[in-house]
Amino acid sequence: AQSVTQLDSQVPVFEEAPVELRCNYSSSVSVYLFWYVQYPNQGLQLLLKYLSGSTLVESINGFEAEFNKSQTSFHLRKPSVHISDTAEYFCAIDNAGNMLTFGGGTRLMVKP
């Protein structure tokens, strides 16, 4: 069985500070990895994904995530956050099944 663990349920950070949201997964087969962002009372938006190739993937709004196979991690980072980045972030895996398995989410709270 596969699982996703997001170690931090909430991450408070000041504007323009760097941030890392942690994600670890467990799977017996190779996986695809995703980060989704959910703004209040909205659906999930795909932020970035790792399917194969370069282990570092980037989004258009400055986030990046690095796939580390040996540590089974896919941590999300941003060097300088904005107030508008305040949202809930979900890490998910697809292990060739028919579903995404999600972590519990991390609430990023950016303070002025």
Which residues of this chain interact with other proteins, rule CB under 8 A?
4, 6, 32, 34, 36, 41-46, 49, 90, 92, 94, 96-105
Contact (Cβ atoms closer than 8 angstroms) between residue 87 and residue 77: no
Shortest approach of other proteins to residue 69 CB, angstroms? 19
Shortest approach of other proteins to residue 39 CB, angstroms? 10
Shortest approach of other proteins to residue 74 CB, angstroms? 15
Residue located via tokens 């060739």: 96
Q: What residues contact residue 91 under an 8 Å CB cut-off, 6+ apart?
A: 4, 6, 21, 23, 25, 33, 34, 35, 74, 76, 102, 103
Pull the structure tokens for residue 23: 């994600």
Name the residue nearer to other proteins (CB basis): 15 or 107. Answer: 107
Name the residue nearer to other proteins (CB basis): 43 or 53. Answer: 43
DSSP state of 71: T
Name the residue nearer to other proteins (CB basis): 18 or 97. Answer: 97
